[in-house]
Amino acid sequence: MKGRRGAALLEAITALAVAATGGVTLAAVVAHTDMALRRTIAQEREVESAARVLTALSLLRKDELEHRLGASLIGEFRSTIGRASSDLYRIGIAHDSAPGRELLATLVYRAPQGVANQ
């Protein structure tokens, strides 16, 4: 029985160490999840803002799109308007801090001048 007294203390210390390790791991997972959630919310807001700019540009008439061909700065975003064909325009939106990484893009069709839309 004499050897058993120290074993109980050792078991208690081991259990405490295991519980502490689990607690630290859980805290790290919660912190990582919180950071990921904050990053996702920020990216979602950025895409929502870019979508508003894209919507506004997609409503432009053919002559207005022609006038805006190329890259231009709109607030915090860089818009790029290109002509895919005589009646088809590509509009891309990127954040000004990362112009090579487009957030959103679309193609819009504009009928030739003088042709009524049906």
Q: Which helix or strand (DSSP H or E) is residue 42 part of?
A: helix 2-58
Domain positions in the chain are 2-109
**pLDDT at res. 5:** 66
**pLDDT at res. 74:** 93
- Tell me which residue has tokens 């050792």: 10
Quote the radius of gyration of the chain (alpha carbons, Å): 29
**Tens digits of per-residue pLDDT, 42-56?**
999 999 999 999 999
pTM as predicted: 0.71
Name the pLDDT band for 2 (thresholds 50, 70, 90): low
**pLDDT at res. 118:** 47
Name the pLDDT band for 3 (thresholds 50, 70, 90): low
Angstrom distance (rounded) from CA 106 to CA 113? 21
**pLDDT at res. 112:** 84
Name the pLDDT band for 115 (thresholds 50, 70, 90): low
